[in-house]
C-alpha cells in the first residue's frame, strides 16, 4: 500500500466501507426481489456521499457513475414505480461497485484512477429511461429539474409535467433533507425567526467551496430549515469564485435567538467577515424555494438528515412488495451510534504495539530468570515478579484481541460469488452463515478470503446440481451452501458444507491415476486421501475449462494459502448428499507455542502444531537404505530421518542417533518424516519475528520460517516442517 | 519529521562519511545511512546463506543480519577482537550490520574531492562509488562505498545464486531445490 495524504486515506477507507455496504444491500434486495424503503434510502445516501467525496477528490468518473446510479434510486424512491427489475438494478449497482472498487484500489496503490465509466453510465441511463417508460412515466422528465411537479402528479400527467405547474402541490413527497425534515410547521410561526447570514472566508485559505460545504453541513442540524447561495457548492465549478465575491449566504429559520446563531457561526475557521441579521419573513430571502423545490434542490445538493421515513399520505402508493419487506436491517441511525464508539487505527500501529509487548515478555523473563538471582532467597521479589507476569499476560491478551476481527465481512463477500455463479451457471443456491461473529486475527481474516472463494466456487460448480436434477433427486430445488465458523481451543474451524452431489470418488481416483499421483496401491487409499487429491496443483475433474473451473488452479491455492497461515484443510463427502471442507487455522499467527530443540550449540524452534510426537529410537530401529539414507518405521510409514546438523552444517551436534531424539513431523503432501535433534529443551510461547529481508532474499527455501527471541536474549530459528519435508525430495 | 527538518538534516550530513578500516584499506560510508555503531554481539548462524553473512543478532529486540565485510570483499576471515565493530546501517528499510575491523572517524569529503574509480574488469570497485582524497594528507584516499548497490536486492540475489552453485558443487548438502 502506498503512503497517502490523510484526506485520501479517509476517502479510500470510507468509500470502501460504503461499497461493501452497497454490495450487501444490493444482494439482500435481490434476494427479496424488492427494494425496501430503508434500503433504497441507504443506497441513495451511500451513492450520494460517494458522489460528493469522489468529486472532491477529482475522481470524476466515480462521481458521475455514482450520480447515474443515484438517479435510478432517486426515481425508485420518489415515484415508487411498480415494475422494478430488481435483478437488473442489482446488476447495475454491483457493476458500479466493482468499477469503483477497482478505481479505489488503483488509488490505494498510489496510481491515478483513469478508467472511464462512460459506458456504464450510458447503460444505466438507458435502463432508467426504459424503466420509466415501462412504468408509464415520461422518460424525458428529469425529476430533479421538475419544479413543482410532485411525485404522485407526475405519474398521471406524463408529458405535461415539463412545465412548472405549482398549482397542485399535493402531499409533501417523502423526502427528508436539510430542514425539510420539519416542514410540518409553517416558517412564519411565531416562535421561529428568519435570519440571513453572510460569511466571508479568507480567500487565501483555498478550497472555499469545501469550507462552505463544511459550514452548511455542520450547521444544518442546528436550525429548522436552511438554504444557501450559491446553491450548488460542490457541483458548480464557479462556486468558489462566487463565495469569494459575495460570500456564503445562509438563509434559515430557527428558534434560537440571533446572538446564539451568530456565536455558532463565529466558530467557523478562516472566517474574515460575518454578518447575521434577522428578516421579517422568508419572502425577503434571496432564495427560499417552495417545498417541491426543496426536494429537487436537496436531491442535488445535500445530505439527507432524517433517514427514517415517517408515514405520509404518499406512502400509500408504496408498492406492496416494498412494504412487505420492512425487515429491520441495521438502520442507519443505529449504525451512526456505533461509529462514534469506534476508532480506526492503522494496522502498523497495532503491529508496533504487538512487537513491544513481545519484547516486554522477553524482557520480563530476562529479569525474572536472571542468572544473578540464582540461589537467592528473595520472596518479595518473586511475589512482585508473579504480579508482573500476570499483568504482562493480560496485556498480551488484550493487545492480541485488538487485532481480532469478526469473520462476518469476509463471509458476506461470498454472497456475491454465489450470486454471480448461480446466475451464470443457471443453478440455484443460497449461502447460509453460522458463527460469522467468530473473531480471528486480522492477518488471517485478510488471507482467508481467497481460499473460501475457491472452495465455494468448487462447491457450486461441482457440488450443487442443476435445479432439475436436484428435484429429481428429491432435494429442494435451491441448493444450500453453509459457511460455518467456530472456535475450538486455540484454533478456528471453518466448514464449508454443500448439499450437492458430493465428490465423485472414482472419477477423482481415475484422474489421479492418469496424472500419476498415486504412490501406493489403489486399494490402500482411504476416502479422505482420495478426496485430498483435488487439492493437488493442476488437478481438475472437469473436462471442459469454464469460466469458473477446470483449469485446476484454485484448490491448490487453497491449500498453500491455508498452510501459510499455519492451518490445514481436509475434505469429506457423502455421495449424493454433499461434501464438507474443513479448514483449521490457529487463532493467531504472532504468538505460537513452540518446542525448543538443541542441535549442537544451535537452537531451533519447531511449532508444536507441526509435531505429531517425539520418539527416542531404540538401537536398530533406524535403518539405512542402499544409498545410506536413514529411515525409521513409524505409523506404518517409512519415514526418512532428517538430521538438522547435516542439512545446516552444524559441527558440534550429537552423531549417535540413539542418543538424540526424533520428532515426527508432517511434510507438505502429508508424508511423515523424522527430525533428529540432540535434545528437547521445552515448550514455550514464542513471538514470531520475520527473518530479516536481506537473508530471506538469499534463502527463501531453507525451511526457516521465522525467528524468535528466547528468554536469555538469544535467537532461535523457527523451522517450517512443510518446507523441511520438501527439501528432502 | 517534516520536510524542512529532513532537508536540514540532509544538509548537515552531506559529504560526511564514517571511515572504517578493513585490513589496510580505509572505506567510507555515508553518515546518513548509519544508524549506530555497536560492539560485536553473540551471532546466531543461519544455514544456507553465503558465508559472508555471519548470521543474525538481537539488537534490543530487533533481529538484524550481520555481514562480515572482509569476507564480502573476498578477504580472509579474521577472528573478532575488542576492536571489531558492527556498523548498523539502514538500506531500503532494512537494517544490516556490517562487521568491520575498526571504526576510525567521521570525515568531511567535499564532492569535488571525489574521483570516480577506474573502470576495471572483475573488481570490487563495482561497490566503490568514488575515491575521496583527503585534504592535507597527500596520497591518503578513502574508498567510498556504494551502499545502494552493495545491498540491492538484485545484487544479493545474483550473489546468492552464485554462492548457491558453488555450494552445490562443493558439498552434498547445499542443495537448493528450486
Please tell me the distance from the alpha carbon of residue A219 to that of residue A228, in angstroms, as a whole number: 11
Task: Flag whether residue A651 sits within 8 Å of chain B, measured between CB atoms.
Answer: no
Q: How far is CA B60 from the centre of its chain?
A: 21
DSSP state of A459: I
Question: Is A567 strand, coil or helix?
Answer: coil
> In angstroms, what CA-CA distances link A188 with A108, A171, A250, A285, A685?
50, 20, 17, 13, 72
The length of chain A, given as a count of residues: 729
Please tell me the distance from the alpha carbon of residue A301 to that of residue A233, in angstroms, as a whole number: 8
Q: How many CB pairs under 8 A join A and B?
A: 87
Please tell me the distance from the alpha carbon of residue A352 to that of residue A361, in angstroms, as a whole number: 14
Closest CA to A458 of A431, A421, A492: A421
Task: Flag whether residue A343 sits within 8 Å of chain B, measured between CB atoms.
Answer: no
β-strand partners of A497: A482, A580
Is the pLDDT reported for residue B86 higher than 90? yes
Window 134-163 of B, Cβ < 8 Å to A:
151, 153, 156-157, 159-160, 163
**Contact state of A727 with B175 under an 8 Å Cβ cutoff:** yes
β-strand partners of B90: B95
**Contact state of B177 with A726 under an 8 Å Cβ cutoff:** yes
Interface test with B, best of A650, A715, A717 (most B CBs within 10 A): A715
Torsions phi, psi for A36 (to 5 deg)? -70, 150
Q: Sheet harboring A193-201: ordered strands across?
A: A225-229, A248-254, A193-201, A271-279
Strands annotated E in A391-500:
404-406, 429-434, 439-441, 479-488, 491-498
Please tell me the distance from the alpha carbon of residue A64 to that of residue A51, in angstroms, as a whole number: 7
Radius of gyration for the alpha carbons in chain A, expressed in angstroms and rounded? 33
Please tell me the distance from the alpha carbon of residue A230 to that of residue A216, in angstroms, as a whole number: 11
Residue in chain B lying closest to A716 (CA): B44
Please tell me the distance from the alpha carbon of residue A633 to that of residue A635, in angstroms, as a whole number: 7
Interface test with A, best of B44, B48, B94, B152 (most A CBs within 10 A): B48
**Contact state of A715 with B56 under an 8 Å Cβ cutoff:** yes
Please tell me the distance from the alpha carbon of residue A671 to that of residue A612, in angstroms, as a whole number: 12
- What pLDDT shows up at residue B66? 92
Please tell me the distance from the alpha carbon of residue A296 to that of residue A283, in angstroms, as a whole number: 20
A648 neighbourhood in chain B, CB within 8 Å: 47-48
Nearest to B177 among A648, A707, A727 (CB): A727
* ipTM > 0.95 for the complex: no
Please tell me the distance from the alpha carbon of residue A224 to that of residue A186, in angstroms, as a whole number: 11
pTM for this structure?
0.49
Question: Is A672 strand, coil or helix?
Answer: strand
Report domain extents, chain B. 3-171
- What pLDDT shows up at residue A384? 92
Q: What nine digits make up the cell of A295?
A: 426536494
- Give the H/E segment covering residue B169: helix B153-170
- What pLDDT shows up at residue A185? 41
Q: How far is CA A649 from the centre of its chain?
A: 46
Nearest to B46 among A603, A689, A699 (CB): A699
Please tell me the distance from the alpha carbon of residue A267 to that of residue A264, in angstroms, as a whole number: 6
**Contact state of A647 with B173 under an 8 Å Cβ cutoff:** yes
Please tell me the distance from the alpha carbon of residue B143 to that of residue A317, in angstroms, as a whole number: 86
Residue in chain B lying closest to A729 (CA): B177
Please tell me the distance from the alpha carbon of residue A467 to that of residue B30, in angstroms, as a whole number: 71
> In angstroms, what CA-CA distances link A612 with A5, A435, A570, B40, B50?
50, 29, 17, 39, 33
> In angstroms, what CA-CA distances link A228 with A201, A212, A349, A568?
15, 10, 42, 61
Q: What nine digits make up the cell of B85?
A: 565493530
**Contact state of B47 with A702 under an 8 Å Cβ cutoff:** yes
**Contact state of B177 with A729 under an 8 Å Cβ cutoff:** yes
Cα angle A652, A658, A662; round to 5: 85
Cβ(A699)–Cβ(A647) below 8 Å: no
Q: What is the pLDDT of residues B129-166, one digit of tens each?
A: 888 887 766 677 888 888 777 776 666 555 555 444 43
Q: Sheet harboring A623-624: ordered strands across?
A: A611-615, A661-666, A672-677, A637-643, A630-634, A623-624
Cβ(A436)–Cβ(A408) below 8 Å: yes
CA distance A689 to chain B (A): 8
Task: Flag whether residue B59 sits within 8 Å of chain A, measured between CB atoms.
Answer: no
**What are the residue ranges in chain A where pLDDT is below 50?**
1, 147-189, 298, 300-339
Cβ(A295)–Cβ(A175) below 8 Å: yes
Torsions phi, psi for A125 (to 5 deg)? -65, -45
Residue in chain B lying closest to A360 (CA): B61
- What pLDDT shows up at residue A28? 82
Three-state secondary structure readout of A15-81:
HHHHHHHHHHHHHHHHHHCCCCHHHHHHHHHHHHHHHHHHHHCCCHHHHHHHHHHHHHHHHHHHHCC
Spatial neighbors of A353 by CB under 8 A, at least 6 apart, are A399, A402
Q: What nine digits make up the cell of A531?
A: 478426496
Record: fold of B3-171: OB fold (Dihydrolipoamide Acetyltransferase, E2P) (2.40.50)
**Contact state of A716 with B44 under an 8 Å Cβ cutoff:** yes
- What pLDDT shows up at residue A242? 74
Question: Is A326 strand, coil or helix?
Answer: coil
Omega before residue A515 within 30° of 0, cis: no
CA distance B110 to chain A (A): 31
**Contact state of A702 with B48 under an 8 Å Cβ cutoff:** yes
* Number of helical (H) and strand (E) elements in chain B, helices listed first: 4, 11
Please tell me the distance from the alpha carbon of residue A139 to that of residue A45, in angstroms, as a whole number: 23
Cβ(A113)–Cβ(A167) below 8 Å: no
Mean pLDDT, rounded, of chain B: 75
Nearest to B49 among A359, A693, A695 (CB): A695
β-strand partners of B29: B18
**Contact state of B47 with A707 under an 8 Å Cβ cutoff:** no
Q: Which residues of A223-234 are buried (b: 16+ CB within 10 A; e: fewer)?
A: bbbbbbbbbbbb
Measured from the Cβ of residue B63, the count of other Cβ atoms closer than 10 Å reads: 20
Nearest to B94 among A603, A693, A704 (CB): A693
CA distance A476 to chain B (A): 50
Cα angle A435, A436, A442; round to 5: 125
Please tell me the distance from the alpha carbon of residue A72 to that of residue A88, in angstroms, as a whole number: 11
Nearest to A692 among B45, B50, B65 (CB): B65
Cα angle A240, A241, A244; round to 5: 85
> In angstroms, what CA-CA distances link B146 with A608, B68, B95, B107?
44, 16, 16, 17
Q: Longest C-alpha distance within chain A, in Å?
A: 108
- For the CA atoms of A684, A690, A691, A693, what is the dihedral angle to 10 degrees? -170
Amino acid at each position: 500500500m502506498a503512503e497517502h495524504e490523510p484526506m485520501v486515506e479517509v476517502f479510500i477507507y470510507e468509500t470502501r466501507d460504503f461499497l461493501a455496504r452497497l454490495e450487501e444491500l444490493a444482494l439482500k434486495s435481490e434476494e427479496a426481489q424488492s427494494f425496501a424503503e430503508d434500503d433504497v434510502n441507504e443506497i441513495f445516501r451511500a451513492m450520494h456521499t460517494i458522489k460528493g467525496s469522489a468529486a472532491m477528490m477529482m475522481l470524476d468518473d466515480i462521481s458521475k457513475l455514482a450520480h447515474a446510479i443515484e438517479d435510478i434510486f432517486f426515481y425508485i424512491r420518489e415515484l415508487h414505480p411498480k415494475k422494478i427489475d430488481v435483478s437488473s438494478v442489482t446488476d447495475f449497482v454491483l457493476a458500479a461497485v466493482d468499477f469503483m472498487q477497482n478505481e479505489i484500489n488503483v488509488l490505494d496503490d498510489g496510481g491515478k484512477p483513469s478508467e472511464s465509466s462512460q459506458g456504464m453510465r450510458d447503460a444505466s441511463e438507458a435502463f432508467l429511461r426504459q424503466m420509466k417508460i415501462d412504468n408509464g412515466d415520461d422518460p424525458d422528465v428529469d425529476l430533479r429539474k421538475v419544479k413543482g411537479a410532485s411525485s404522485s402528479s407526475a405519474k398521471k400527467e406524463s408529458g405535461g409535467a415539463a412545465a412548472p405547474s405549482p398549482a397542485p402541490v399535493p402531499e409533501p413527497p417523502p423526502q427528508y433533507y436539510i430542514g425539510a425534515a420539519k416542514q410540518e410547521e409553517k416558517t412564519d410561526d411565531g416562535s421561529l425567526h428568519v435570519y440571513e447570514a453572510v460569511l466571508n472566508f479568507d480567500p487565501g485559505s483555498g478550497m472555499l467551496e469545501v469550507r462552505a460545504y463544511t459550514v452548511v453541513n455542520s450547521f444544518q442540524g442546528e436550525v429548522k430549515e436552511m438554504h444557501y447561495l450559491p446553491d450548488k457548492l460542490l457541483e458548480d465549478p464557479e462556486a468558489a469564485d462566487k463565495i469569494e465575491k459575495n460570500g456564503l449566504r445562509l438563509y434559515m429559520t430557527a428558534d434560537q435567538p440571533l446572538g446564539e446563531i451568530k456565536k455558532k457561526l463565529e466558530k467557523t475557521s478562516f472566517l474574515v467577515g460575518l454578518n447575521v441579521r434577522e428578516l421579517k419573513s422568508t419572502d425577503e430571502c434571496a432564495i427560499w424555494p417552495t417545498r417541491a423545490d426543496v426536494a429537487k434542490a436537496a436531491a442535488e445538493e445535500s445530505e439527507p438528515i432524517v433517514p427514517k421515513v415517517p408515514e405520509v399520505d404518499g406512502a400509500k402508493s408504496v408498492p406492496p412488495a416494498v412494504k412487505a419487506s420492512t425487515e429491520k436491517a441495521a438502520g442507519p441511525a443505529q449504525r451512526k451510534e456505533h461509529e462514534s464508539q469506534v476508532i480506526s487505527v492503522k494496522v502498523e500501529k497495532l503491529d508496533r504495539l504487538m512487537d513491544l509487548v513481545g519484547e516486554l515478555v522477553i524482557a520480563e523473563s530476562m529479569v525474572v530468570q536472571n542468572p544473578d538471582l540464582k540461589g537467592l532467597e528473595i520472596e518479595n521479589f518473586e511475589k512482585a515478579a508473579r504480579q508482573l507476569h500476570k499483568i504482562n499476560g493480560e496485556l498480551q491478551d488484550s493487545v492480541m484481541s485488538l487485532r481480532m476481527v469478526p469473520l462476518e465481512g469476509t463471509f458476506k463477500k461470498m454472497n456475491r460469488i454465489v450470486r454471480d455463479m448461480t446466475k451464470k451457471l443457471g443453478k440455484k443456491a443460497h449461502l447460509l452463515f453460522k458463527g460469522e461473529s467468530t473473531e480471528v486475527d486480522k492477518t488471517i481474516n485478510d488471507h482467508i478470503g481467497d481460499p473460501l472463494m475457491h472452495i465455494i466456487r468448487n462447491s457450486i460448480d461441482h457440488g450443487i446440481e442443476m435445479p432439475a436434477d436436484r428435484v429429481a433427486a428429491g432435494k429442494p430445488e435451491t441448493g444450500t451452501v453453509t459457511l460455518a465458523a467456530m472456535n475450538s481451543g486455540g484454533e478456528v474451524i471453518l466448514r464449508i458444507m454443500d448439499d450437492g452431489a458430493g465428490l465423485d470418488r472414482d472419477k477423482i481416483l481415475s484422474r489421479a491415476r492418469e496424472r500419476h499421483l498415486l504412490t501406493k496401491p489403489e486399494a490402500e487409499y482411504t476416502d479422505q486421501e482420495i478426496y485430498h487429491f483435488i487439492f493437488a496443483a493442476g488437478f481438475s475433474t472437469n473436462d471442459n475449462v469454464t469460466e469458473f473451473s477446470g483449469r485446476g488452479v484454485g484448490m491448490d491455492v487453497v491449500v498453500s494459502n491455508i498452510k501459510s497461515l499455519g492451518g490445514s484443510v481436509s475434505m469429506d463427502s457423502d455421495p449424493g448428499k454433499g461434501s464438507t471442507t474443513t479448514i483449521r487455522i490457529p487463532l493467531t499467527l504472532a504468538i505460537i507455542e513452540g518446542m525448543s530443540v538443541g542441535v549442537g550449540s544451535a537452537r531451533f524452534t519447531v511449532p508444536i502444531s507441526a509435531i505429531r510426537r517425539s520418539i527416542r529410537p531404540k538401537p536398530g530401529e533406524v535403518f539405512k537404505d542402499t544409498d545410506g539414507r536413514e529411515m525409521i518405521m513409524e505409523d506404518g510409514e517409512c519415514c526418512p530421518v532428517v538430521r538438522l546438523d547435516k542439512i545446516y552444517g552444524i559441527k558440534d551436534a550429537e552423531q549417535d542417533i540413539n542418543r538424540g531424539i526424533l520428532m515426527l513431523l508432517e511434510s507438505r503432501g502429508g508424508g511423515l518424516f523424522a527430525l533428529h535433534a540432540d535434545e528437547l529443551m521445552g515448550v514455550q510461547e514464542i513471538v514470531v519475528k520475520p527473518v530479516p529481508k536481506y537473508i530471506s532474499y538469499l534463502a527463501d527455501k531453507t525451511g526457516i520460517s521465522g525467528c524468535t527471541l528466547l528468554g536469555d536474549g538469544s535467537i532461535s530459528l523457527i523451522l517450517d516442517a512443510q518446507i523441511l519435508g520438501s527439501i528432502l525430495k | 519529521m517534516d520536510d524542512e527538518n529532513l532537508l536540514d538534516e540532509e544538509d548537515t550530513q552531506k559529504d560526511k562519511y564514517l571511515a572504517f578500516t578493513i585490513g589496510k584499506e580505509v572505506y567510507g560510508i555515508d553518515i546518513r545511512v548509519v544508524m549506530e555503531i555497536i560492539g560485536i554481539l553473540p551471532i546466531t548462524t543461519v544455514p544456507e546463506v553465503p558465508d559472508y553473512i555471519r548470521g543474525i543478532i538481537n539488537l534490543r529486540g530487533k533481529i538484524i543480519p550481520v555481514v562480515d565485510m572482509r569476507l564480502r570483499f573476498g578477504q580472509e576471515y579474521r577472528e573478532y577482537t575488542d576492536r571489531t565493530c558492527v556498523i548498523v546501517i539502514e538500506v531500503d528499510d532494512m537494517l544490516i550490520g556490517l562487521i568491520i575491523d575498526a571504526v576510525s572517524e567521521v570525515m568531511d569529503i567535499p564532492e569535488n574531492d571525489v574521483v570516480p574509480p577506474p573502470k576495471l574488469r572483475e573488481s570490487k570497485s563495482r561497490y566503490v562509488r568514488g575515491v575521496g582524497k583527503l585534504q592535507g594528507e597527500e596520497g591518503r584516499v578513502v574508498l567510498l562505498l556504494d551502499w545502494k548497490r552493495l545491498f540491492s536486492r538484485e545484487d544479493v540475489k545474483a550473489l546468492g545464486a552464485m554462492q548457491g552453485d558453488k555450494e552445490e558443487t562443493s558439498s552434498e548438502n547445499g542443495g537448493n531445490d528450486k
